[in-house]
Amino acid sequence: MKKILILSLMIIFFLGGTGKIFPMVNYDEDPMAAQENSAPELKKEIVKINYIELTSAYSILMNYKSRWGKMQAIRERNILIIEDTPEFVDKLMTILNEIDVKPLDLEFKVDLIMGVSQDIPNLEIDKELSADPLIKELKNLLHFNAFERLDTSIIKILDNSRSHQRMGGKGMSFQLELKPRYIKENKSDYFQVELGLIQDKGFTSEAKHRNITLLATKLALKSGERQVVGVSKLDGGDKALILILSGRIYK
Protein backbone atom coordinates (compact mmCIF):
# COMPACT_ATOMS: atom_id res chain seq x y z
CA MET A 1 0.00 0.00 0.00
CA LYS A 2 2.86 2.41 0.83
CA LYS A 3 4.53 1.60 -2.48
CA ILE A 4 1.37 2.55 -4.44
CA LEU A 5 1.06 5.86 -2.52
CA ILE A 6 4.74 6.77 -3.12
CA LEU A 7 4.38 5.97 -6.87
CA SER A 8 1.31 8.19 -7.14
CA LEU A 9 3.08 11.12 -5.45
CA MET A 10 6.04 10.74 -7.79
CA ILE A 11 3.76 10.92 -10.87
CA ILE A 12 2.01 14.04 -9.55
CA PHE A 13 5.39 15.66 -8.73
CA PHE A 14 6.72 14.81 -12.19
CA LEU A 15 3.71 16.31 -14.04
CA GLY A 16 3.64 19.33 -11.76
CA GLY A 17 7.29 19.94 -12.32
CA THR A 18 6.76 20.51 -16.01
CA GLY A 19 4.92 23.74 -15.21
CA LYS A 20 2.17 22.84 -17.74
CA ILE A 21 -1.54 22.93 -17.00
CA PHE A 22 -3.70 20.41 -18.82
CA PRO A 23 -7.23 21.83 -19.25
CA MET A 24 -10.25 19.60 -19.12
CA VAL A 25 -11.55 18.74 -22.59
CA ASN A 26 -15.27 18.29 -23.38
CA TYR A 27 -15.21 15.84 -26.24
CA ASP A 28 -18.97 16.29 -26.82
CA GLU A 29 -18.50 19.90 -27.92
CA ASP A 30 -17.64 20.51 -31.61
CA PRO A 31 -16.23 24.04 -32.01
CA MET A 32 -16.77 23.92 -35.80
CA ALA A 33 -20.40 22.87 -35.42
CA ALA A 34 -21.01 25.61 -32.88
CA GLN A 35 -19.56 28.13 -35.30
CA GLU A 36 -21.79 26.86 -38.12
CA ASN A 37 -24.91 27.01 -35.94
CA SER A 38 -24.37 30.62 -34.95
CA ALA A 39 -26.92 32.71 -36.87
CA PRO A 40 -25.39 35.28 -39.23
CA GLU A 41 -26.67 38.81 -39.65
CA LEU A 42 -29.85 38.80 -41.73
CA LYS A 43 -31.15 41.31 -44.24
CA LYS A 44 -34.85 42.09 -44.65
CA GLU A 45 -36.70 43.02 -47.85
CA ILE A 46 -40.41 43.82 -48.22
CA VAL A 47 -41.51 43.36 -51.84
CA LYS A 48 -44.87 43.76 -53.57
CA ILE A 49 -45.88 41.03 -56.02
CA ASN A 50 -47.32 42.65 -59.13
CA TYR A 51 -48.22 40.00 -61.70
CA ILE A 52 -47.94 36.39 -60.56
CA GLU A 53 -49.93 34.79 -57.76
CA LEU A 54 -48.56 35.53 -54.29
CA THR A 55 -48.71 31.84 -53.37
CA SER A 56 -46.74 30.93 -56.51
CA ALA A 57 -44.00 33.45 -55.72
CA TYR A 58 -43.81 32.20 -52.12
CA SER A 59 -43.58 28.53 -53.17
CA ILE A 60 -40.85 29.19 -55.73
CA LEU A 61 -38.65 31.35 -53.50
CA MET A 62 -38.91 28.98 -50.53
CA ASN A 63 -36.89 26.47 -52.56
CA TYR A 64 -33.92 28.85 -52.79
CA LYS A 65 -33.60 30.41 -49.33
CA SER A 66 -30.71 29.57 -47.00
CA ARG A 67 -30.99 27.52 -43.81
CA TRP A 68 -31.46 30.75 -41.85
CA GLY A 69 -33.90 32.31 -44.26
CA LYS A 70 -37.48 33.17 -43.36
CA MET A 71 -40.35 34.28 -45.54
CA GLN A 72 -43.83 35.57 -44.86
CA ALA A 73 -46.69 36.22 -47.31
CA ILE A 74 -49.17 38.99 -46.49
CA ARG A 75 -52.26 38.35 -48.62
CA GLU A 76 -54.07 41.57 -47.71
CA ARG A 77 -51.24 43.69 -49.16
CA ASN A 78 -49.97 41.14 -51.71
CA ILE A 79 -46.42 41.40 -50.37
CA LEU A 80 -43.60 39.07 -49.34
CA ILE A 81 -41.36 39.72 -46.36
CA ILE A 82 -37.98 38.10 -46.99
CA GLU A 83 -35.30 37.68 -44.32
CA ASP A 84 -32.01 35.99 -45.15
CA THR A 85 -28.28 36.55 -45.43
CA PRO A 86 -27.43 39.46 -47.75
CA GLU A 87 -26.15 37.22 -50.53
CA PHE A 88 -29.25 35.02 -50.42
CA VAL A 89 -31.58 38.02 -50.35
CA ASP A 90 -29.88 39.28 -53.52
CA LYS A 91 -30.30 35.85 -55.10
CA LEU A 92 -34.00 35.67 -54.15
CA MET A 93 -34.65 39.17 -55.49
CA THR A 94 -33.01 38.23 -58.81
CA ILE A 95 -35.27 35.18 -59.11
CA LEU A 96 -38.35 37.24 -58.22
CA ASN A 97 -37.52 39.85 -60.86
CA GLU A 98 -37.38 37.07 -63.45
CA ILE A 99 -40.71 35.46 -62.56
CA ASP A 100 -42.84 38.45 -61.56
CA VAL A 101 -43.14 40.01 -65.01
CA LYS A 102 -46.07 41.45 -66.94
CA PRO A 103 -47.80 38.75 -69.00
CA LEU A 104 -47.67 39.01 -72.77
CA ASP A 105 -50.53 40.65 -74.64
CA LEU A 106 -52.01 38.05 -76.97
CA GLU A 107 -54.50 38.38 -79.79
CA PHE A 108 -56.77 35.64 -81.14
CA LYS A 109 -59.10 35.68 -84.11
CA VAL A 110 -62.09 33.35 -83.94
CA ASP A 111 -64.25 32.56 -86.95
CA LEU A 112 -67.60 30.90 -86.29
CA ILE A 113 -68.80 29.24 -89.51
CA MET A 114 -71.84 27.19 -90.38
CA GLY A 115 -71.45 24.39 -92.89
CA VAL A 116 -74.50 23.12 -94.77
CA SER A 117 -74.77 19.68 -96.40
CA GLN A 118 -77.89 20.40 -98.44
CA ASP A 119 -79.10 23.22 -100.68
CA ILE A 120 -80.80 26.02 -98.79
CA PRO A 121 -82.70 28.72 -100.71
CA ASN A 122 -81.40 32.28 -100.35
CA LEU A 123 -78.23 31.13 -98.58
CA GLU A 124 -75.65 33.90 -98.83
CA ILE A 125 -72.41 32.56 -100.26
CA ASP A 126 -69.32 34.21 -98.81
CA LYS A 127 -66.90 34.29 -101.75
CA GLU A 128 -63.92 35.06 -99.52
CA LEU A 129 -64.84 32.18 -97.29
CA SER A 130 -65.29 29.83 -100.24
CA ALA A 131 -61.76 30.63 -101.40
CA ASP A 132 -60.27 29.95 -97.96
CA PRO A 133 -57.85 26.95 -98.16
CA LEU A 134 -59.09 25.58 -94.82
CA ILE A 135 -62.69 25.75 -95.98
CA LYS A 136 -61.83 24.04 -99.27
CA GLU A 137 -60.19 21.24 -97.32
CA LEU A 138 -63.20 20.92 -95.05
CA LYS A 139 -65.54 20.83 -98.05
CA ASN A 140 -63.70 17.79 -99.37
CA LEU A 141 -63.56 16.06 -96.01
CA LEU A 142 -67.04 16.77 -94.72
CA HIS A 143 -68.97 16.99 -98.00
CA PHE A 144 -70.62 20.29 -97.20
CA ASN A 145 -72.19 22.15 -100.10
CA ALA A 146 -71.88 25.64 -98.69
CA PHE A 147 -70.43 27.63 -95.81
CA GLU A 148 -71.71 30.75 -94.10
CA ARG A 149 -69.87 32.97 -91.65
CA LEU A 150 -71.93 33.46 -88.52
CA ASP A 151 -69.54 35.65 -86.57
CA THR A 152 -65.92 36.77 -86.29
CA SER A 153 -64.35 38.00 -83.07
CA ILE A 154 -60.97 39.49 -82.19
CA ILE A 155 -60.00 38.66 -78.61
CA LYS A 156 -57.18 40.53 -76.85
CA ILE A 157 -56.13 38.69 -73.74
CA LEU A 158 -53.21 38.48 -71.31
CA ASP A 159 -51.14 35.33 -71.35
CA ASN A 160 -52.41 32.60 -69.01
CA SER A 161 -55.70 34.36 -68.31
CA ARG A 162 -59.28 33.46 -69.22
CA SER A 163 -61.70 35.15 -71.60
CA HIS A 164 -65.47 34.78 -71.98
CA GLN A 165 -66.80 36.04 -75.31
CA ARG A 166 -70.35 36.16 -76.67
CA MET A 167 -70.72 35.12 -80.30
CA GLY A 168 -73.63 34.23 -82.54
CA GLY A 169 -75.71 34.64 -85.68
CA LYS A 170 -78.82 33.30 -87.43
CA GLY A 171 -80.75 33.41 -84.17
CA MET A 172 -78.12 31.35 -82.36
CA SER A 173 -76.17 32.47 -79.29
CA PHE A 174 -72.89 31.01 -78.08
CA GLN A 175 -70.35 31.63 -75.37
CA LEU A 176 -66.69 31.08 -76.19
CA GLU A 177 -64.29 30.38 -73.32
CA LEU A 178 -60.59 30.77 -74.07
CA LYS A 179 -57.50 30.34 -71.93
CA PRO A 180 -54.11 30.49 -73.72
CA ARG A 181 -50.60 29.93 -72.39
CA TYR A 182 -47.62 31.09 -74.44
CA ILE A 183 -44.68 28.67 -74.70
CA LYS A 184 -41.31 29.21 -76.31
CA GLU A 185 -39.51 25.95 -76.93
CA ASN A 186 -36.72 24.91 -79.30
CA LYS A 187 -36.78 28.31 -81.02
CA SER A 188 -40.47 27.98 -81.85
CA ASP A 189 -43.45 29.89 -80.45
CA TYR A 190 -46.81 28.29 -79.79
CA PHE A 191 -49.81 28.46 -77.51
CA GLN A 192 -51.41 25.82 -75.37
CA VAL A 193 -55.09 26.71 -75.56
CA GLU A 194 -58.04 25.53 -73.49
CA LEU A 195 -61.22 26.23 -75.44
CA GLY A 196 -64.89 25.68 -74.86
CA LEU A 197 -67.93 26.60 -76.95
CA ILE A 198 -71.34 26.57 -75.26
CA GLN A 199 -74.65 27.11 -77.04
CA ASP A 200 -77.35 29.06 -75.26
CA LYS A 201 -80.60 27.16 -75.80
CA GLY A 202 -82.80 29.60 -73.90
CA PHE A 203 -85.21 28.54 -71.19
CA THR A 204 -87.09 25.31 -70.64
CA SER A 205 -90.80 25.09 -69.86
CA GLU A 206 -89.81 25.12 -66.18
CA ALA A 207 -88.07 28.49 -66.75
CA LYS A 208 -84.64 26.94 -66.29
CA HIS A 209 -81.77 28.16 -68.41
CA ARG A 210 -80.41 25.47 -70.73
CA ASN A 211 -76.89 25.32 -72.19
CA ILE A 212 -75.26 22.71 -74.39
CA THR A 213 -71.48 22.26 -74.59
CA LEU A 214 -70.57 21.87 -78.25
CA LEU A 215 -66.78 21.92 -77.93
CA ALA A 216 -64.42 21.38 -75.00
CA THR A 217 -60.85 20.81 -76.03
CA LYS A 218 -57.16 21.53 -75.49
CA LEU A 219 -54.87 22.16 -78.42
CA ALA A 220 -51.42 23.39 -79.41
CA LEU A 221 -51.50 26.34 -81.80
CA LYS A 222 -48.43 27.79 -83.50
CA SER A 223 -48.12 31.56 -83.41
CA GLY A 224 -49.58 33.00 -86.62
CA GLU A 225 -51.17 29.70 -87.68
CA ARG A 226 -54.88 29.22 -88.49
CA GLN A 227 -56.38 25.99 -87.29
CA VAL A 228 -59.76 24.29 -87.37
CA VAL A 229 -60.54 23.69 -83.72
CA GLY A 230 -63.58 21.51 -84.12
CA VAL A 231 -66.79 20.68 -85.91
CA SER A 232 -70.04 20.15 -84.07
CA LYS A 233 -73.35 19.04 -85.58
CA LEU A 234 -76.27 21.38 -85.04
CA ASP A 235 -79.99 20.59 -84.81
CA GLY A 236 -81.24 18.44 -87.65
CA GLY A 237 -77.85 16.95 -88.56
CA ASP A 238 -77.58 18.71 -91.93
CA LYS A 239 -75.73 21.68 -90.43
CA ALA A 240 -72.48 21.88 -88.53
CA LEU A 241 -70.72 24.57 -86.57
CA ILE A 242 -67.06 25.05 -87.47
CA LEU A 243 -64.64 27.06 -85.36
CA ILE A 244 -61.36 28.36 -86.79
CA LEU A 245 -58.73 29.90 -84.48
CA SER A 246 -55.53 31.84 -85.01
CA GLY A 247 -53.28 33.60 -82.51
CA ARG A 248 -50.27 35.86 -82.19
CA ILE A 249 -48.34 37.96 -79.71
CA TYR A 250 -49.92 41.39 -79.78
CA LYS A 251 -47.06 43.29 -78.12
Segments making up each domain of the chain, as ranges: 40-102, 105-249
Q: Which stretch of DSSP H or E encloses residue 19?
A: none
- Output the pLDDT for position 236: 60
Residue 67 near residue 85, CB atoms below 8 Å: no
Per-residue pLDDT reduced to its tens digit, 93-138: 999 999 999 999 999 999 999 888 766 656 566 677 878 888 888 8
pTM above 0.85, yes or no: no
pLDDT band at 67 (very low <50, low <70, confident <90, very high): very high
Q: What CATH architecture applies to the domain 40-102? A: 2-Layer Sandwich (3.30)
pLDDT band at 237 (very low <50, low <70, confident <90, very high): low
d(CA 94, CA 43): 15
Q: What is the pLDDT of residue 117?
A: 75
Structure confidence at residue 165 (pLDDT): 94
Q: 165-181 pLDDT, tens per residue?
A: 999 988 889 999 999 99
The Cα–Cα gap between 227 and 109 comes to 11
**Residue whose C-alpha is closest to residue 117's, from 215, 245, 236, 197:** 236
Taking all residues of the chain, what is their mean pLDDT, rounded to a whole number? 82
Cα angle, residue 203 at apex, residues 173 and 169 outer, rounded to 5°: 15
